[in-house]
Each structure stands twice: as C-alpha cells, then as structure tokens.
Amino acid sequence: MKASRISALILALTSLALPACQGTHAEEHSHQKHHPIVVTSPLAKDVIITQPYVCQIHSRRHIEVKALEEGYLEAITVKEGQAVKEGDVLFRVIPALYKAKWDAEVAEAEFARVEYEQTKKLATGDRPVVSQTEVTLYQAKLAKAQAKAKLAEVEFGFTEVKAQFDGIIDRLHQQQGSLVGKGDLLTTLSDNQVMWVYFNVPEARYFEFNNGRGKSTGDSRLELVDSRIELRLADGNKFKHSPGNAVTVEGKFNNETGNIAFRADFPNPDGLLRHGQTGTVLIHRAMKNAIVIPQRATFEVLDKQYVWVVGEDHVVRQRPITVQHELEDIYVVQSGIDVKDKIILDGVRQVRDGDKVEYEFRQPEEALAHQKYHAE
C-alpha cells in the first residue's frame, strides 16, 4: 500500500517537472531558429597567393678534390673552411721523386736530339754515310723521348693539387704524411657565389605556371610572370637577396611523386648560404580579379567544400565549390559561385537545403574585413 502511494507521488512530480523542461528546450530551439542569418556575396579582387615549397640548397659548383698520383702527402697548404682562389696549391704529394723522373726524361730527350742532329749531318753532303731511313729512325726516337719528357712534366704537375675555381674548402679527409692512392678523396671545394636552390612542384602547379602565368625564356628557363621568389631559412628569417622571377625546370617528372624539380639561382655575395642547407622557397603570385569568400561561409562534406546559396525567393540551396587557393581566413574560389550569388556567412549550421529564410545582407568588403572564424 505504501509502495503504491510512493509510485503515485513520483509520477505526479515527474508530470509537473516535464512541462518545465519541455518549455526550456522549446525556448532554446526558438532562440536558435530565430538567430539572425547574415548573407554576403563573393568579391572579385586582386590577391597575392603565397605558395611554400621545401627546398635544398646546393653550391653552383661542388666538386671532390682527389689525389692525382700515389704517394705521401708532403704538405697541406689550406685549412678547413678556408676561402681559396683559382690556381692556389692545396696539397703536395712528394714532388722530389717526380721532379727527378722529369729531369731524367728531359736528359734522355736531349741525348736523342743530339743523336738525331749527328745522324742528319751524316746523311747529307756528297758522300752520305748513313741512309735517310736511319735518319727517320733517329727522328722517331727523338719524338718518343720528347713525349716521355712531356709526360713526366705532366706527372710532376699532378703532385700539386690546385683549386679549379674560387671557393670554400670543406673537411680535410687526409693528414700531412698520410700515404694516399691515386683517386683518394682529399677534400671538397664549393663555389658559393651563386646558390642553386631546388624545390619540387606538383604537376598541376607546373601547368598553372605555364598556362598564361609563365613565359619560356628558351632552353629550360621559365619566367614566372607577376611573381616574386623569396627564400625562408631554417631560423624563419628571409634571405635578403632575390633570384628575380626566373627558374630552371628539369627535363622530366618524377613518376612516383608526380612532381618536377624547379631551380632558383640565388646570389650569395655575403657567403651566408652553404652547400647542403635546407629552407623554404616562397613564390608570391598576383592574381587579378580572383573570386574570394570568407572561409567561415563554407562547410565540408566528404572532403568537398560547399556553401549555402540564397536565391531570389529566399530559399537556401546547397552548392559545391572548387577552392583554388587557401589564404588566411579566405578561400580563392575557382568555380561554383560568382559575385552575383548570395551566400550565408553567419548561420551556416542553422539551415537545411530548401529552407526559406529571412536574412540581413552584409557587404562583401565588410565581411572580408572582419574575419574571426574558419570553415565549419
């Protein structure tokens, strides 16, 4: 009996509380439903598109310096990191031995010359003692001796390893007194006056650069019209020198990545850049009369971007768009809408396809000037 009274009491209290709760939800729904919807239009304006590409920095000339002859390193005339000039001697490999060989070959060549001159005299006159054939043989012997002397001179020159151009010496791989073989690596030499900066460009961007925005300058050079190239270094600072707006394009695409390598040539008069560094190439391109909309006016469904378009009858329709570029809080739209359309800016989540709405219109310049939220 007591249990039935308690159950009746609980039921009565529940019935009293339920209308209050329903009323609260109804008020929230009514508030959400009547939240003002703000509509704007896309805007056609000139924008600067910045596209970043991870890059690798290489010296214009970077070569391995190797021993040309076998022997002991007699002298190392440079230090690691030292700047050298073309023709400077970097290493010497026991030159005394090669000098002696050169002197001996020069002496042999002189002896062969004397023999040839004497034989030539004996083959001339009224009573020649030797034949012209013997003169020819001694002439050939002289030529052979002179060739061997020239070879010894070249070999002696190989004992001095010289810089092939102005550059920076890298790590020394051998020490003074070390026995080195022919072809052993001694160091590397880098010409850092101009740095070659390589970065990979997707196939779609490659065609974009070529179709109306790029101008071929012959060979593999491509001038990026209405563009500016910068280099951002690993510390976040921008390199103060610019390569202009021309790049070099490699001859083929990478089939695995779908990219093609571009190269920008940066002057490096201060020597700040070194071979092997990394950074980010920034290509700033001007787009004329681009269609732009605030990001928060869009929403995403299955990796596709959409906007709500409000018709003349105030009916909302869902429409897909193609985003060409993404800026801070702004999308550059390639297709799907134009400046004549009206799109929902605030209240994207409050409407459904086919709803009839009342709205307030905000000028596109004002809508783009006050960006706070990203796409829903």
Percent of the chain with pLDDT strictly greater than 70:
86
CATH of 32-48+289-369 among 2.40.10.10, 2.40.420.20, 3.10.129.10, 3.40.50.300:
2.40.420.20
CA distances from 29 to 24, 33, 350 (A): 9, 6, 11
Put residue 126 in one of left, alpha, beta given phi > 0 → left and psi -120 to 50 → alpha.
alpha
| CATH level 3 topology of 95-158 | Helix Hairpins (1.10.287)
**What one-character-per-residue DSSP string does 14-78 give?**
HHHHHHHHHHHHHHHHHHHHTSPEEEE--EEEEEEEEEEEEEEEEEEEEEEEE-SS-EEEEEE--
pTM of the model: 0.68
Res 276: pLDDT = 94
Range with the lowest mean pLDDT among 34-38, 270-274, 331-335?
34-38
CA–CA gap between residue 276 and residue 56 (Å, rounded) = 7
User: Which CATH homologous superfamily contains domain 50-59+193-288?
Assistant: Efflux pump adaptor protein, beta barrel domain (2.40.30.170)
Lowest mean pLDDT among 81-85, 238-242, 249-253, 305-309: 249-253
Q: What is the band of 316 on the pLDDT scale with cuts at 50, 70, 90?
A: very high
Q: Where are the domains of the chain?
A: 32-48+289-369, 50-59+193-288, 95-158
pLDDT digits (tens, 9 = 90+) for 209-246: 877 555 555 567 888 888 899 999 999 999 999 998 88
* 299-320 average pLDDT score: 93
Tokens of 29: 């729904």
Q: Inform me whether the pLDDT recorded for 361 exceeds 60.
A: yes
Pairing mode, if any, of strands 359-361 and 37-40? parallel
Say what percent of the chain tops pLDDT 90. 55
Tell me the per-residue pLDDT of 116-155, one tens digit each, with 9 for 90 and over: 888 888 888 777 888 888 889 989 999 999 999 998 888 7
User: Would you state the pLDDT for residue 36?
Assistant: 84
Measure the CA dihedral 349/354/358/364, to 10°: 70
